[in-house]
Amino acid sequence: MNPQEEHPTVSIFREFLQIRTDHPTPDYESSTKFLVKKAEEYGIQYEVYRETGLPIVIMKIEGEDQTLKSVLLNSHVDVVPAVTESWKVNPFAATKDEKGDIYARGTQDMKCVCIQFLEVAHRIAKSGKKLKRNLYLTFVPDEEIGGTGKGMEIFVYTEKFKQLNVGLCLDEGLASPTEDFTVFYGERAPWWVHITAVGNAGHGSRFIEGTAVEKLMRTVNKMLAFRQEQSEKLHKCDHECGKKLGDVTSLNLTVLKAGIPQDHSNNYSYNVVPTQAEAGFDIRIPPTVNLEEFLQQLKDWTAEEGLSFKFASYIDKNEMTKLDSDNKWWENFKASAKALDINLVTEIFPAATDSRFIRNLGIPAFGFSPINNTPILLHDHNEFLNEKVFIRGIDIFMGIIPNLVNME
């Protein structure tokens, strides 16, 4: 290839980035059409599964032994919205600068991995050599809005998923700003809690007792005190004991509502004590925390009369993938990394991915995006990935995935 020419897989990546799969109205029909066309071109078996209500593209490279558990490469095709005014380029144009940095929403999260997985399948199919196990690729919708409803949460309970007979799943990780690569073996449980307080009304000039806001504030303050404890645990300990964000419980007050609107012009009735006040928290709980005990903690925080809560996101089970010598997949993965001379760092993913639905079925899953020496820019403005890092990622996957699929 002429050094001036763009690597063909980079061109495919840039084309895929231009497909508008951003929320709130992801164009899944176009991404499906794109992937199907590639599968046809590469001679890879595929089907478009629509039973969950949105298209899931499933590709298969048949292995020698159908009785063995398969390897699943799962990626989501949707991306979060981009605030165009805050970007230095159009976030859906996949502009490449003189350094080879490609700017677009989804460069890191996770259209890079979609195309890397596709290229790995392409190379395996092209080689004509059969691997031991079945290799599947799934391209799923709606991960960015939780994977619930029509996404992975539903798909993993279908007969179709069962038929895939998955033994190991690879899914997204995060970019690493250093030379090392990060592998995620679990993630924190995302609990989104909406607390409502009701209390007494009255004139704003009086000392009204038992107001909704007062009750809510007491709870909010208890929860923020817990937040402070956890933050100190992370920050005070950072250098001494190497705690990472994924090892502590984070809690953010992300919704706060009270007050009686007066009209439609942002005015409030400042002299009316409102009877209702609400707070929403984004809580992320490490898999080492007992979720039943944490639920009890939440009940204790909201025990005062007039307070209630409901979940906007909740899981009562949060399995990790064990990284011990009994996990042959992990041993195999590590051996490949060693042969590639890359250094792996293992962590708990601080946010949520579709892997949680896989791990909760008891299936091991690794979150791994082969991106190093790159700032973590998922969901951020000016998200980018360098083309060389992207291409090296395919070689890294080629050094890992066939070994996993060939595992005895």
Torsion, CA 41, CA 47, CA 52, CA 53, rounded to 10: 60
110 binds, among Zn ion, ligand AME, none (CB under 5 to 8 A by kind): Zn ion
Phi, psi of 301 (to 5 degrees): -60, -30
Kindly tell me the burial class for residue 124, based on how many C-beta atoms sit within 10 Å of its own C-beta (0-12, 13-18, 19 or more). Answer: buried
Nearer to ligand AME, 134 or 318 (CB): 318
Q: What share of the chain is helix, strand, coil (3-state, %, to 5)?
A: 35, 25, 40
Q: Which residue has the tokens 């890359």?
A: 342
Positions in the binding site for Zn ion (CB under 5 A): 109-110, 172
Are the beta carbons of 227 and 332 closer than 8 angstroms? no
Q: Please tell me which residue in 22, 142, 143, 387 is annotated as part of the active site.
A: 143
Interface region with ligand AME, contact rule CB under 6 A, candidates 19-27, 59-67, 91-99, 346-354: 346-354
**145 secondary structure, DSSP code:** G
Whether 341 is catalytic = no
Nearer to Zn ion, 118 or 212 (CB): 118
Interface region with ligand AME, contact rule CB under 6 A, candidates 16-24, 46-54, 350-358, 388-396: 350-358
SS3 221: helix
Whether 300 is catalytic = no
* Residue 309 bridge partners (DSSP): 195
142 binds, among Zn ion, ligand AME, none (CB under 5 to 8 A by kind): none
Q: What is the DSSP string of 209-265?
A: SS-HHHHHHHHHHHHHHHHHHHHHHHHHHHHHH---GGGS-EEEEEEEEE--B-SSS
Residues 301-330 that bind ligand AME (CB under 6 A): 313
Which position's Cβ is nearest ligand AME?
A: 351
Interface region with ligand AME, contact rule CB under 6 A, candidates 228-236, 328-336, 345-353, 392-400: 345-353
Which residues are part of a known binding site for Zn(2+)?
Answer: 76, 109, 144, 172, 379
Tell which one of 21, 353, 374, 386 touches ligand AME (CB under 6 A).
Answer: 353
Are the beta carbons of 91 and 121 closer than 8 angstroms? no
Q: Please tell me which residue in 22, 78, 119, 187 is annotated as part of the active site.
A: 78
Nearer to ligand AME, 135 or 170 (CB): 170
Q: What is the DSSP string of 305-338?
A: TTEEEEEEE--S-------STT-HHHHHHHHHHH
Which position's Cβ is nearest Zn ion?
A: 109
Token code pair at residue 57 = 């593209």
Nearer to ligand AME, 10 or 298 (CB): 298
CB of 315 to ligand AME, least distance (A): 9
Interface region with ligand AME, contact rule CB under 6 A, candidates 28-36, 84-92, 316-324, 349-357: 349-357
Are the beta carbons of 192 and 210 closer than 8 angstroms? no
Number of residues that bind ligand AME (CB under 6 A): 6
How far is the C-alpha of 169 from the C-alpha of 164, rounded, in Å? 11
Token code pair at residue 329 = 């997949």
Q: Does residue number 81 form part of the binding site for ligand AME (CB under 6 A)? A: no
200 binds, among ligand AME, Zn ion, none (CB under 5 to 8 A by kind): none
Residues 171-190 that bind ligand AME (CB under 6 A): 190
Q: How many CB atoms lie within 10 A of CB 57?
A: 26
Closest CA to 348 of 166, 188, 143: 188
CB of 296 to Zn ion, least distance (A): 31
How far is the C-alpha of 39 from the C-alpha of 33, rounded, in Å? 10
Q: Does residue number 146 form part of the binding site for ligand AME (CB under 6 A)? A: yes
Nearer to Zn ion, 34 or 349 (CB): 349
Encoded amino acid at 210, one letter = G
* Residue 169 bridge partners (DSSP): 72, 365
Which residues are part of a known binding site?
Answer: 76, 109, 144, 172, 379
How far is the C-alpha of 286 from the C-alpha of 247, rounded, in Å? 6
Q: Does residue number 351 form part of the binding site for ligand AME (CB under 6 A)? A: yes
Q: Does residue number 220 form part of the binding site for ligand AME (CB under 6 A)? A: no
Nearer to Zn ion, 233 or 379 (CB): 379
Active centre residues (catalytic): 78, 143
For ligand AME, the binding residues (CB under 6 A) are 146, 190, 313, 351-353
